[in-house]
Amino acid sequence: MKNIKQTDVEIYDIIKSELKRQRNTLELIASENFASYSVIESTGSILTNKYAEGYPGKRYYGGCESVDMAEDLARDRLKELFNAEYANVQPHSGSQANMGVFNVFLNHMDTVMGLDLAHGGHLTHGSKVNFSGNMYNFISYSVLEETGRVNFDEVWEKAKKYKPKLIICGGSAYPRFVEFEKFKEVADSIGAHLMGDVAHPSGLIAAGVHPSPWPYCDVITSTTHKTLRGPRGGMILLGKDFENPWNKIAPKSGRIKMVSELLDSSIMPGIQGGPLMHVIAAKAVAFKEALTDEFKEYSNQIVRNAKAIADEMLKLDYKLISGGTDTHLILVDLSDIGISGKMAENKLEDAGITVNKNMVPFDKKSPMITSGIRIGTPAVTTRGMKEKDMMKIAKFIDQVLKNPSDEQNIIKIKHEVNEFCASFPIYEDL
């Protein structure tokens, strides 16, 4: 970063400060991870200079030969990774990937079903503060209070009553496998399409650790970071391409357009202009990394680590939504120990442990306070930590949450966390 240091010392200092934080902090936010040097280098490459509106071979700008190759590589690797016929790597985020799908499968104010935000869903699954909740008629389904798993009796009941055109499965705080097959049965019974938002478990799916959305989902969306460990961005996949059922015709030939064509048009020019070619190249790098045996082992370790933390937290008398996890994340209900999610997040951060406050199902506190925290293992697994290390992390968390007012204890734990992190160094060459 010698150039930044010379030209903009303020930003240089901010980056160095963040590097120090990442090195010395136990990163347990489920949606965060540490990208490889290769991904970081690609993201910061000269490809950021190239405008490339359109798609490979069909650009609106000249000089796109190199970036065409990069995007083709990204798409081909992604299709191989997920055994898919179609891939779009241009969405700038998972939310934009979702918007792109909605634009194809829905009309304004069509009825959609998605998991309630307070029960583990995502903002784009119908929250009223999000475009999805304002542009479409979203019907939310929930989880069972006693099990923390999707209430399929409710899903069936609401599907039959409201007849949604699209059902979304998956979420941002659901610790169990997504039940693709069960959702498909519901969707088929009412003639709805099924969309899988697999932003959180996509890396686990790619590695074969989480059940595949195929052949159940008509379309899936995802981010490219989180468990996939790539740059921040989005993607759309079709297991099998198919003619669109809305009778949208290619104007010149008169043929029925494929859904892939509609999705491409929905992203560009529908909601985006020029794609971020440096990010797309970084996505290609991450997809290549994810095709390795090492990534498969890494993904298995993520889940083993999450289960290890969950087991230890249960031994320490914490309430976990659904009683544990199948994936990379754990949702902890703190109601019984008398501390809010917001306070837990703040106190843990003081101790060098980063989590996020999170609503739990049937939460009585506001979204800015919450009764729970979400814990994830992708980032600590990237550092090389194993099950025994997770047990230590769980005890760090417990020592803070059971004594949130003991500032000297928090300082002591922060020192221990710093020493612990030093045993698992990251980005030593930066």
Half-sphere exposure of residue 326: CA atoms within 13 angstroms, side-chain side = 17
- Among the listed residues 158, 226, 319, 357, the single catalytic one is 226
Residues 428 and 430: their CA atoms lie apart, in Å, by: 6
Q: What are phi and psi of 113, to 5 degrees?
A: -115, 135
**Structure tokens belonging to residue 102:** 């909605």
Q: Note if 374 is an active site residue.
A: no
Decide if 56 contacts 268 (C-beta within 8 A). Answer: no
What CA–CA distances, in Å, run from 283 to 89, 201, 224, 270? 8, 17, 7, 22
Q: Note if 197 is an active site residue.
A: yes
Q: Note if 226 is an active site residue.
A: yes
Q: How remote is the C-alpha of 296 from its chain's centroid? A: 18
Residues 85 and 260: their CA atoms lie apart, in Å, by: 9
Residues 295 and 283: their CA atoms lie apart, in Å, by: 15
**Structure tokens belonging to residue 116:** 């309630």
Residues 346 and 354: their CA atoms lie apart, in Å, by: 9
- Closest by alpha carbon to 218, among 109, 85, 76? 85
- Among the listed residues 51, 248, 296, 365, the single catalytic one is 51
- Among the listed residues 59, 75, 229, 232, the single catalytic one is 232
Q: Note if 223 is an active site residue.
A: yes
* Dihedral sign of CA atoms 261, 266, 270, 274 in order: negative
- Among the listed residues 27, 197, 333, 363, the single catalytic one is 197
Q: Note if 7 is an active site residue.
A: no
CB within 8 Å of 216: residues ≥ 6 apart: 180, 181, 183, 184, 194, 196
Residue whose structure tokens are 């019984």: 336
Q: What are phi and psi of 53, to 5 degrees?
A: -60, 140
Residues 2 and 331: their CA atoms lie apart, in Å, by: 41
CA angle 291, 277, 222 (to 5 degrees): 50
- Closest by alpha carbon to 138, among 121, 120, 150, 156? 121
- Among the listed residues 32, 53, 185, 406, the single catalytic one is 53
277-290 and 65-82 helices cross at what angle (nearest 10)? 30
The catalytic residue positions are 51, 53, 197, 223, 226, 232
